[in-house]
Structure 1
Amino acid sequence: MTLLLKLSQLIDRLNGYVAKGAFWLVLLMTIVSSANAVVRFLFDYSSNGLLEIQWYLFAAVFLLCSPYTLQKNEHVRIDVLSGKLSPRGHAVIDIIGSLFFLLPMVVLILWLSLPLIAESIKINEMSANAGGLIRWPVKILLPIGFTLLALQGVSELIKRIAFLAGRIDDPNHKDKGPSAEEELAAAIAAAKAKEAK
């Protein structure tokens, strides 16, 4: 069990690094979106490529941050049942959900997406829109994001089993620490303070 918990910590660390890097894509997406709007307003010019890069960045944020959301227990839950369960009951529900819903869904999406991505790379698929971008880079995000989500699902499964075995504290317990938004704001403030020095 100790080795599995170390694996879980490694997965958590990996997804934490990936998500914190992907947070910066939100800023980039905002800059691109704002620049596109200003150029369209001032010069009456628009580019499908600029619109598509916004979609690509949004897809990257969504796919790369989903595992972190699962790790931080910020994903959507149905509180009608879970609000009445004990911590052990939550852990059992999470184990069942991971084994029978999350992991099979992730494996199915990976299995179905790989041939589409291979074909997209093979033909160097381009957007059907005039001035659009190539499609395979954004499609590659599917297996990357879902592989990270599968790894996080395994990590959460390990933590729930370890909790039921009495090896760790309740992984569903939310500490009163900063939210993801507060963490991002603090990281941006720290980066600005570093630049000012």
Structure 2
Amino acid sequence: MQAALHLSRAIDAVNDRIGRWSMWLILVMTLLSAGNAVIRKLFDFSSNALLEAQWYMFSAVFLLCAGHALLHNEHIRIDLLSARYDPRTRAWMELLGTLVFLFPVVGLVLWLGTPYFLTALNNHEMSANPGGLILWPAKMLLPLGFALLWLQGLSQAIKQIGFLCGASPDPAHKGDELSAEQALIEELRRREEAEAASKLQGAHHG
């Protein structure tokens, strides 16, 4: 189990580093977009390569940060029910969700997306737009991003199993900091308690 947990920590470190570096592409993309707009207005010059570079960087941020988002539990989810269960039940739910949904879906995308990238690479595909960029780097992001997501799913599964076996702490526990969903659950719980207390008080007065 300890070897698996070491592997999990290595995967976490890789996805965390890739995610943090990829986020800088947002700044580069913003500057490139603004610069392209200024050049087009001032000098009546436009470049398809610059436009496509922005699309490439947007794709890179979206796909390369998928594993990072899963690591930090930033994917959108509806857990109004799961948050009410005890940590072990939530761990089982997370583990089953990873095995039943995440692994098969990501595996399907890798199976379909890898040949899509290899075809573009072998054929040296170019953009259909005049002066456009080569396509294989953009298409490479699809299998690469989903491979990182699959690895992070593996890491999360290892941590859940480790917690269930008593070999590691609850991976969902992040100290005293509450996520947005947890804060919402806590607020709803407080309101329910206040309403119940108000009704009880009204019944006593009646």
Say which is worse superposed, 149-158 or 112-121, in terms of deviation: 112-121
Q: State the secondary structure of the residue aligned to 1:167.
A: coil
Partner AA of 1:15 in structure 2: N
Partner AA of 1:55 in structure 2: W
Q: State the secondary structure of the residue aligned to 2:74.
A: coil
Q: State the secondary structure of the residue aligned to 1:80.
A: coil
Deviation digits for residues 97-116 of structure 1, max 9, x if unmatched? 11011111111111111211
2:18 corresponds to 1:6: no
1:140 deviates by: 0.9
CA distance in 1, matches of 2:83, 2:7: 30
Aligned to 2:71: 71
1:43 deviates by: 1.8
Aligned to 2:26: 26
2:107 corresponds to 1:111: no
Deviation digits for residues 27-82 of structure 1, max 9, x if unmatched? 21111111111112222222211111001001111111110110011111112322
Q: Percent identity?
A: 52
2:62 corresponds to 1:62: yes
CA distance in 1, matches of 2:74, 2:174: 9
Aligned to 1:130: 130
Q: State the secondary structure of the residue aligned to 2:111.
A: helix
Partner AA of 1:141 in structure 2: L
CA distance in 1, matches of 2:50, 2:158: 42
Where do 1:1-197 residues align within 5 Å?
A: 1-175=1-175
Say which is worse superposed, 10-19 or 37-46, in terms of deviation: 37-46
CA distance in 2, matches of 1:85, 1:39: 56
Aligned to 1:192: none
1:90 deviates by: 1.7
Q: State the secondary structure of the residue aligned to 1:119.
A: helix
**What is the number of equivalent residue pairs in this alignment?**
178
1:96 deviates by: 1.0
CA distance in 1, matches of 2:21, 2:79: 31
Q: State the secondary structure of the residue aligned to 2:160.
A: helix
| TM-score, length basis structure 1 | 0.85
CA distance in 1, matches of 2:101, 2:137: 28
Deviation digits for residues 101-133 of structure 1, max 9, x if unmatched? 111111111111121111111211111122211
The runs of 5 or more residues in structure 1 that have no matched partner are 180-197
| TM-score, length basis structure 2 | 0.81
The runs of 5 or more residues in structure 2 that have no matched partner are 180-206
Q: State the secondary structure of the residue aligned to 2:170.
A: coil
Say which is worse superposed, 3-12 or 39-48, in terms of deviation: 39-48
Q: State the secondary structure of the residue aligned to 2:80.
A: helix
1:176 deviates by: 5.3
Q: State the secondary structure of the residue aligned to 2:84.
A: coil
